[in-house]
Amino acid sequence: MKLISDLHIHSRFSRATSKQLNIENLEKYAKIKGVGLLGTGDFTHPEWVKELKQQLTEDETGIPKTKDNFPFILQTEVSLIYSQDNKGRRVHIVLMAKSFDIAEHITEYLKSKGRIDYDGRPIFKIPCDEFTESMKKIDQDIEVIPAHIWTPWFSLFGSNSGFNSVEECFKDQTKNIYALETGLSSDPAMNWRLSQLDRYSLVSSSDLHSFWPWRIGREATIFDLSQLTYKNIIKAIRTKEGLEGTIEVDPNYGKYHFDGHRNCKICMNPKDSIRVKNICPKCGRNLTIGVLHRVEELADREVGFRPKEAKPFTSLIPLSEIISTLIGSPIASKKTWKIYNDLLEKFKDEFNIMLDAEKEELTKIAGAQIADAIIKNREGKITIQPGFDGEYGKPLFPKAGKLEKDTIQEESPDSFETHKPKFEQKGLDEF
């Protein structure tokens, strides 16, 4: 059984998230996207876990399900901020648990260290090795995964607060780390350049802050399992057997791929930023060092190296982004939704459109230009203007319409509510 999973998400109780993030919308838009398994996000938050217990039913699989049998896996993210080796460290961790009982034990442990009620992604002054050891004392089946490992501000290898190796961060608990999350600004090929990462499974998830189809499942992990159980998911992550690969966005699309300074609108590749000593040529302040630069610092292999047991991956820009860019209309405008819904009505879900639909059929519904872009997207042939210092990258097309500002920047949590059509168009409401 193959399924596409998105195992790192958030609820509306995390900062800067949509107020409409609830189980109903997550299930609905996961089906629209083609995602077959979702993380719950934020199970340590008291209000959110109350909703989860009301709307999800546990069974012997360890995979709680909705009344319509859509599966979720209990998951949360924790921010660990502390000092080590005379340097401030800020590392985000994704956790997965096999039951509400285990999730409650995790929450009780965290409550002994601080508050958990103010944010779905709470902050604690706990070193990564101590935290991991504590999780394993609660239950050996808790999975600890370093999140978006290359982003500058809050990650394992981040340029501003990270480490140079997994071992520096997790010390004797490195033995309990089996997987690393690539994040939007890196892909597996970039991670293959570090021989120290060969032993780890590379997983991808959206880290969504809203449920829209250009957020949910924008990065995902593909499994091939005999049965969907928590045990089988964890086994696949830890052994790589049953882990088929990942769906990524082009790393140029990520908000921190290149170096730059957002306020000065300065975007630079690592070679150019090194030449100016990582100083913004406009204001004289330090540039935000991006993921590509950081990978270059730690890589011990050339570009293009592929380990023998490397899992395949596919790079895709979300369909809504492509439509929006080509027609020159906001990503959540009625015009963009109309084309998206017409395609959805024919092809069932977005991943089916992006990965399998025939060009001729796509052309009949969306026209030659959009059909051609979907195929080029599938083949990794779309040029992306790199993202930097918190700005998303921009897909570039010949003779494309004007790209609206809110299609390339992180939206405020509910900014798209005003653009969305006031009625459910055909192709959406059947979910």
In tens, the pLDDT along 172-216 reads 999 999 999 999 999 999 999 999 999 999 999 999 999 999 999
Q: Verify that 218 and 109 share a domain, yes or no.
A: yes
In a domain, 277, yes or no: no
Q: Verify that 46 and 168 share a domain, yes or no.
A: yes
In tens, the pLDDT along 155-184 reads 999 999 999 999 999 999 999 999 999 999
Measured on CA atoms in the order 369, 375, 379, 385, is the torsion positive or negative? positive
Mean pLDDT of the chain: 93
Whole-number pLDDT of residue 398: 73
Q: Verify that 136 and 245 share a domain, yes or no.
A: yes
Look at the chain and report how many structural domains it folds into.
Answer: 2
Residue 413 has pLDDT above 60, yes or no: no
Q: Verify that 343 and 195 share a domain, yes or no.
A: no
Domain boundary among 225, 253, 281: 253
Whole-number pLDDT of residue 412: 38
In tens, the pLDDT along 233-280 reads 999 999 999 999 999 999 999 999 999 999 999 999 999 999 999 999
Contact 216, 26 (CB under 8 A): yes
Average pLDDT over residues 330-337: 97
Q: Verify that 217 and 360 share a domain, yes or no.
A: no
Name the band, by pLDDT with cuts 50, 70 and 90, for residue 399: low
Of the candidates 308, 303, 318, 316, which has an alpha carbon nearest to the alpha carbon of residue 189? 303
Q: The domain containing residue 80 runs over which residues?
A: 2-253
Alpha carbon distance 105, 413 (integer Å) = 31
Q: Verify that 331 and 236 share a domain, yes or no.
A: no
Q: Picking from 30-44, 100-114, 330-344, 410-424, which range would have the lowest pLDDT averaged per residue?
A: 410-424
Domain boundary among 253, 277, 305: 253
In a domain, 26, yes or no: yes
CATH number at residue 150: 3.20.20.140
Q: How far apart are the first and last CA of the chain?
A: 22
Residue 271 amino acid letter: K
In a domain, 425, yes or no: no
Q: Counting beta carbons within 10 angstroms of the beta carbon of residue 141, is it exposed (0 to 12), middle (13 to 18) or buried (19 or more)? A: middle
Cα 152 to its chain centre, rounded Å, is: 15
Whole-number pLDDT of residue 87: 96
Cα 206 to its chain centre, rounded Å, is: 2
Alpha carbon distance 426, 431 (integer Å) = 10
Q: Verify that 345 and 207 share a domain, yes or no.
A: no
Whole-number pLDDT of residue 418: 34
Q: Verify that 126 and 249 share a domain, yes or no.
A: yes
Instruction: Detail the DSSP E strand segments found in 163-204.
Output: 179-181, 201-203
Whole-number pLDDT of residue 307: 97
The secondary structure element, H or E, covering residue 29 is helix 23-33
In a domain, 311, yes or no: no
Q: Verify that 185 and 43 share a domain, yes or no.
A: yes
Residue 300 has pLDDT above 50, yes or no: yes
In tens, the pLDDT along 38-90 reads 999 999 999 999 999 999 999 999 999 999 999 999 999 999 999 999 999 99
Q: Verify that 110 and 215 share a domain, yes or no.
A: yes
Per-residue DSSP letters for 261-314? EGGGTEEE-HHHHHHTTTB-TTT-SBPBP-HHHHHHHH--S-TT---TTPPPEE
Q: Verify that 230 and 329 share a domain, yes or no.
A: no
Residue 409 has pLDDT above 70, yes or no: no
Q: Are strands 123-124 and 72-84 parallel, antiparallel or unpaired?
A: parallel
Average pLDDT over residues 99-120: 98
In a domain, 296, yes or no: no
Q: Verify that 176 and 60 share a domain, yes or no.
A: yes
Domain boundary among 227, 253, 279: 253
Name the band, by pLDDT with cuts 50, 70 and 90, for residue 30: very high
Percentage of residues in the chain having pLDDT higher than 90: 92
In a domain, 404, yes or no: yes
In a domain, 54, yes or no: yes
Name the band, by pLDDT with cuts 50, 70 and 90, for residue 397: confident
In tens, the pLDDT along 350-393 reads 999 999 999 999 999 999 999 999 999 999 999 999 999 999 99
Name the band, by pLDDT with cuts 50, 70 and 90, for residue 304: very high
Contact 148, 162 (CB under 8 A): no
In a domain, 181, yes or no: yes
Q: Picking from 198-212, 279-293, 331-345, 397-411, which range would have the lowest pLDDT averaged per residue?
A: 397-411
Residue 334 has, within 13 A of its CA and on its CB side, a CA count of: 5
